[in-house]
Chains A and B, each alone.
Chain A
Amino acid sequence: MLDFKLDEIEQSGDFYTRNFQPTPEENKLVLNMGPQHPSTHGVLRIILEIDGEYILRAEPVLGYIHRMQEKMAEVKTYPQYLPNMGRVDYLHALAWNWAYAGAVEKLMGLEVPERAEYIRVITCELNRINSHLLWWGAYLLDLGAFTPIMYAFADREIVMDILQRITGSRLTYCYYRFGGVSADIDQKFINDTREFCKYMRGRFPIYKDLVTDNIILRKRVEDIGHINLETCRKYGATGPVLRGSGKPYDVRRAEPYSVYDRFDFEIPVYDEKDALARYLVRMDEMEQSLRIIEQALDSLPEGDYIHPKTPKNPKPPKGEAYFAVEGARGKIGVYLVSDGSKSPYRLKLRSPGFSNLSLFAEIARGTLLADAISILGSLDLVIPEIDR
C-alpha cells in the first residue's frame, strides 16, 4: 500500500521546484537536469518542463558553487586576492589573472614592461588553446564520442607542461602580478612553445578528419540552437557565442589592450548562428592563437619581466577602473572601486559564462531534449565562473 498524500508530494522539493510555474498544458513532465549530470560540467541545474521529447520551458538554477569571490576581495589586500582569480575560471585562469591585474594597474597608473606584456600574451594564448581543447573534448563527450577527449588531453598535457615550468601550476594559475609576471621565461620555454605550435598545426587536420567532418557530429550540431544577434544583444552574450552568430566582436580588436594591436590575426566569424558555427569559431580560434604566439615569440623584446618599482602592498588612489580582456568564453571584465585603503572597496567580476548561459532558457524552448544537451555544450559553460 502506498500511504502518502498528494499534497505532501506537492509540498516536497526545494524552493525552485515549488515555485516553478508550469505552463497550462496537459501531458507534461517536470524534469530536473543536474546539479549532478554529466553534461552540465559541474553543478548546473536546469529545471525542464517537457512534453514527450520536446522542451516547453527550461530554467537554469544557479548558485551551487557560489563562493563569494566578489565579497572576498573586500576583506583581502590587493596581492592577497591574486590567487582567487585562478579559481574563478579554472580553464582560462590567466585571462582572469590579467583582468584583475590590469584593473589594478590601470587605477595605479603602473606601467607594465614590454617584455612582460609579451609574456602575458604568449601564456594567455597558450591557456586559451588549452581551454578550447578541453571544451572540444568535453563537448564531444556530451554528444557521445569518447575518443576525442583522449586526443585533447594528450595535447593539453604538452601545454600544461610548458606552463608548469614557468608558472609552477598546471591549472589554477597565479602568474600575473601587478606590473608584470612572477617569473621570466627562458630559452627552453621558447623552444618548447615553438615546437608545440608546429605540432598543434599538424593536429588540426586530424581533428577535422576525426570529428569535424564526421557525419554523426554534423547531424548533432548542424541547424541546432540558433541564436540570433538580437538574443545575443539582449543577454549580453560575448565570445565564440557572439562570433558564431555573425558579429566579429573581440575585445582584443575592439578595445585593444596590452600589445594585441601589434599582432596580425583574424577574428573567426560564422554566420550560421547554430551550434556548428560556435564549434568552428573555437576551432579556428585555436589556429589564430598559434599565430599570435609565434609572432610574439619572434618579436619578444629584452627587459624586465616585472616593473622594478612595483610596491609590495599597493594602495591604489581613490577612484574606479574597469578593465576587460577577451577570455576563452568571452569578455571578462573587472570593475574595481578603491577608497585608497589596502583592500578594494568593491570588486565586480563580469563573467561571460553567466550571460551566455542566460540565453539558454530562450533558445531551448521547443527543441528536443537531446538537442538541448548539444546547445548547452556549445555555449562552453564553466560553472564556477558563472556562480563566482
Chain B
Amino acid sequence: MMVKKIAQTLTGLWSLVVGLRVTGKNFFQPQITVHYPREKVESIEGYRGHIELVPKDNDPFTARCMACGSCARVCPSGCITLHIKKVTEPAVSAKKEDNSQKPEQNNQKAAPAKKTKTKRVLEAFELNYNYCSLCGLCVQSCPAGGLRFSDNVYLAGFSRKEFEFDLLARMRAQKEGK
C-alpha cells in the first residue's frame, strides 16, 4: 500500500516534469502571435467585407446591376434598398422597321408591346452595413453577377452613419480615383 502510494506520487511528479518540458520547448520557439498594428496580418485571403457593385466590362462607370431587386428581397436583415428610376423610352427605330417588313398578322400582336419600353435604371444602391451579417445570399441571388465582396479589412468608423453606403457612388468614386 505504502509502496503503491509512493510510486503514484513519483509518477505524478514526473508528469509535471514532462509537462514543463513541453512548455520549455515552446518557450524557445519563435512567437506565433502577430503584433497587429506594428506587423501586417497575413492570410486575409477570402475575407468578406461588405458587398460592392461590379462594373460592366466595357464601361467601368456603369454597374452590371439591372435593378431587379432580388438581392433586396432575399436579404435576411433587409439592409439593401434600391432607388430605381423608371425610364420610358420609345422602342428602337431599327426594330420598328423590322416589324413593318413582317407580315401583318405578326405585327398586330407585337406592336402594342414594343411601342414603348420601360427601363429600370439604378439611381442609388443603398447598403446599411450596420445590420448586414455577411451571409452572401445577395451575391448568390444576383442574376447578373453584379455583386461581390469587398476586401477592406481595416474598415472602421465612429458612428452608424459611416456604415450606410451608397454603393453606386462608391463604385464610381473608386474608378475615378484610379
Q: Which residues of A contact B (CB under 8 A)?
A: 76-77, 79-84, 147, 151, 154, 157, 161, 164-169, 172, 174, 177, 182, 206, 209-211, 213-216, 218, 312-313
Contacts and interface: CB of A to CB of B under 8 A. Distances in A.
B133 to A, nearest CB: 5
A80 B43 contact: no
A161 B137 contact: no
B145 interface: no
Contacts of B133: 83, 172, 174
Interface in B19-75: 19, 21-23, 26, 32, 43, 45-48, 70, 74-75
Contact of B70 (A84, A167, A312): A312
A34 to B, nearest CB: 28
B16 interface: yes
Interface SS of chain A? helix
A82 B138 CA distance: 12
A165 B44 CA distance: 8
B46 A206 contact: no
B135 A209 contact: no
Given A79-B74, A174-B137, A214-B19, 6 more contacts: A164-B46, A165-B45, A167-B46, A174-B134, A213-B18, A312-B70
Interface SS of chain B? helix
* Max chain A Cβ within 10 angstroms of own Cβ: one of B46, B75, B137: B46
Range of interface residues on B (Cβ < 8 Å): 20 to 34
A218 B11 CA distance: 12
B43 A174 contact: no
A168 B49 CA distance: 9
B129 interface: no
Contacts of B45: 164-165
Contact of A211 (B11, B19, B76, B135): B19
B100 interface: no
Nearest to A170: B47
Nearest to A175: B136
